[in-house]
Amino acid sequence: MADFTKSYDVVVAGAGVSGVAAALAAARRGKSVALIEKQAITGGLATSGMIFVYLPLCDGMGRQVTFGIAEELMRESLKFSPCRLGKDWGGPGGKDARARFAAPVSPAGLVVAIEKLLSDAGVDLWYDTLICKTVVSRGAVSAVEVENVSGRGQIRGKCFVDATGDSGVIRRAGGKVTTGHNTNGSTLWFMAGNPDPDRRYPLGNGVNIQTLPMYKDFDLDEKYTLTGKGVSKFLRCGHAVVREHYEQLYAKNPDDRFKYYPLFLPGMPLFRKIAHISGRAAVEADQFNVRREDSVGLVGDWRTTGKIWETPYGALIPEDLEGILAAGRNVCSRNDAWEAFRVIPAAAMTGEVAGTAAALSLDRKCRPSRLSLKCLRAALAERKFVFHIDDLPPVAAKASSDVFSEE
């Protein structure tokens, strides 16, 4: 018997950027919303993972392509970050400003900005709460079993959003997923005391986010990303990489420990791709700059310029499960398209779509899979969403050389 039971209109699993966007979107449409997070911090990889670069909301050709909460989160977090937007995007510019509509942000600054937005929207945030089981009734998700300091309980909802990053709620319901391969292991991001002014993403005052390559003998498939001991091995490997880096540095000059030192390590495993749903539609690797008639939003490719992806609504809907939508890294984006959709702008955009669709489906008394695309688009258009590349303004600028790398 459950130690506690709570009921909401919309339940969002995972308080990374996509889950935050989903919760805000649903709550702002008047729904009671639970946002469940197993950590003690919101923001996911962007904050506790310290992958702190808010990647571009533009196409690198001078055009903004992603709007709504994705832009709102960036601008709010910059109020608490020593970073600047470029002049083309309404910022003051400066030597550390990016040419594209992107910026590094303070991880803690993003957290405090998120907390204020969630509070203002009336979202009920459940920190330190682990989802243990998905309850399915008549083919639809009806509740999740959770555990926290209060014991084991059940959180019920009329509609759910899986923003866990590994499709955890959908997997536990028996939904089909595809696991991902993380090329050459992964790159470790961590906070360091390092006053080197040539660091690419300094946060100021001698604080930097440092990156180090992980060991290349890691073949990060599901044997690591979806097993408990695999996750533990990966985390310990990252700690060893940092230790060896500084041991080698100090061996050359012991006094360097007064200049260069680790400050804080990630609070979660830095897997980029874990498991995405098998959706009723998919974003395929060769579908950039391709019109999708059921598109609900646009994403620019953070690694290059001129590539834009239209997002089919069906990519957020599991093919074999009702009452739930996927958001963020969970959406059905395959192969190279997954690389474009696993980052902050796409996560926030798909999160807002999922939260909006969840709220509207309750208003219309239908399953998310049955929601009218016209109805959903009308609501998203109020948030300045653009659905097709042809609806963007003409290219007015040369391609930016301001591209991004995780190395």
**pLDDT tens, 262-295?**
989 999 998 889 999 999 999 999 999 999 999 9
Among 12, 13, 19, 10, CA closest to 344? 19
For residues 339 and 327, the answer to whether their CB atoms sit within 8 Å is no
User: For residue 102, what are its two tokens?
Assistant: 């992107």
User: In b/e form, how buried is each residue of 320-347, taking b as 16+ CB within 10 angstroms?
Assistant: ebbbbbbbbbbbbbbebbbbbbbbbbbb
Q: Which residue has the tokens 């990303």?
A: 225
User: In b/e form, how buried is each residue of 80-90, taking b as 16+ CB within 10 angstroms?
Assistant: bbebbbbebbe
Concatenated DSSP letters of 236-294: HHHHHHHHHHHHHHHHH-GGGGGT-EEEE--SS---S--EEE-BSS-B-TT-BT---TT
Distance, CA of 212 to CA of 250 (rounded, Å) = 16
User: In b/e form, how buried is each residue of 9-45, taking b as 16+ CB within 10 angstroms?
Assistant: bbbbbbbbbbbbbbbbbbbbbebbbbbbbbbebbbbb
Amino acid at 238: G
* pTM of the predicted model as reported, rounded to 2 decimal places: 0.95
User: For residue 179, what are its two tokens?
Assistant: 């696991």
For residues 38 and 45, the answer to whether their CB atoms sit within 8 Å is no
Considering the segment(s) 4-180+275-391 as one domain, its CATH architecture is 3-Layer(bba) Sandwich (3.50)
CB atoms near residue 401 (< 10 Å)? 9
Long-range contacts of 216-220, Cβ-Cβ distance < 8 Å, separation of 24 or more: 216/184, 216/185, 217/185, 218/182, 218/184, 218/185, 218/186, 219/181, 220/181, 220/182, 220/185, 220/186, 220/271
E strand or H helix at 381, and its extent?
A: helix 373-381
Distance, CA of 291 to CA of 138 (rounded, Å) = 35
Q: Which residues contact 112 (CB under 8 A, 6 or more apart)?
A: 80
Distance, CA of 155 to CA of 134 (rounded, Å) = 10
Q: How far is CA 86 from CA 95, 110, 209, in A?
A: 9, 19, 21
Distance, CA of 191 to CA of 271 (rounded, Å) = 18
pLDDT tens sequence for the chain (407 residues): 679 999 999 999 999 999 999 999 999 999 999 999 999 999 999 999 998 889 999 999 999 999 999 999 999 999 998 888 999 999 888 777 788 999 989 999 999 999 999 999 999 999 999 999 999 999 999 999 999 999 999 999 999 999 999 999 999 999 999 998 765 456 788 888 875 555 555 566 666 778 888 765 555 666 778 889 989 988 998 899 999 999 999 999 999 999 889 989 999 998 889 999 999 999 999 999 999 999 999 999 999 999 999 999 999 999 999 999 999 999 999 999 999 999 999 999 999 999 999 999 999 999 999 999 999 999 999 999 999 999 999 997 778 888 777 65
Tell me the domain boundaries of the chain: 4-180+275-391, 187-264
Distance, CA of 152 to CA of 145 (rounded, Å) = 7
For residue 152, with 0-12 CB atoms within 10 Å meaning exposed, 13-18 middle and 19 or more buried, which class applies?
Answer: middle
